[in-house]
Amino acid sequence: MKKLLMIVILSIINISYAGNNQSPIKVEVYDKTDPLFGVSFLEVKVLSVDDKIVINDIVANRGKCRLLNKNRRSEMPRTLGYGDAYTIRFASCNLLEISVNTNKGNWTVSY
């Protein structure tokens, strides 16, 4: 539970982009466990705070965290309106950063 709380708190902090500090997205990360199999995984939720943004890719730890739902890659690019969200799951790993590639630049959340 402490790990989940820490991940959520840290996911709200430290979104950065070279040149513009106004991020068009928010990133939330949840540490979850599959109730059927008992396997831990990370759920990454990208929320749009812009009227229209295109999510091209979401990468955890520079590609070092394994994507669990590989069919989600086929859904890229994904257009989000204000308040819309897109969720993707990664195998549980020591999360250091999430990078989101959008039509408005690359945004990285560091932990």
The CATH number linked to 99 is 2.60.40
Number of domains in the chain: 1
Q: Which residues pair with 109 in a beta bridge?
A: 15, 98
Give me the chain's average pLDDT, please.
85
Indicate whether this model's pTM tops 0.85. no
Burial class of residue 90 in the structure, from the number of CB atoms within 10 Å of its CB (0-12 exposed, 13-18 middle, 19+ buried): buried
| Per-residue pLDDT reduced to its tens digit, 15-62 | 444 455 689 999 999 999 999 999 999 999 999 999 999 999 999 999
pLDDT at 103 over 80: yes
CB of 72 within 8 A of CB of 57? Answer: no
Look at residue 20 in the predicted model and tell me its pLDDT. 56
Q: In the chain, what's the furthest Cα-to-Cα distance?
A: 45
In which domain, by residue range, is 25 found? 2-110
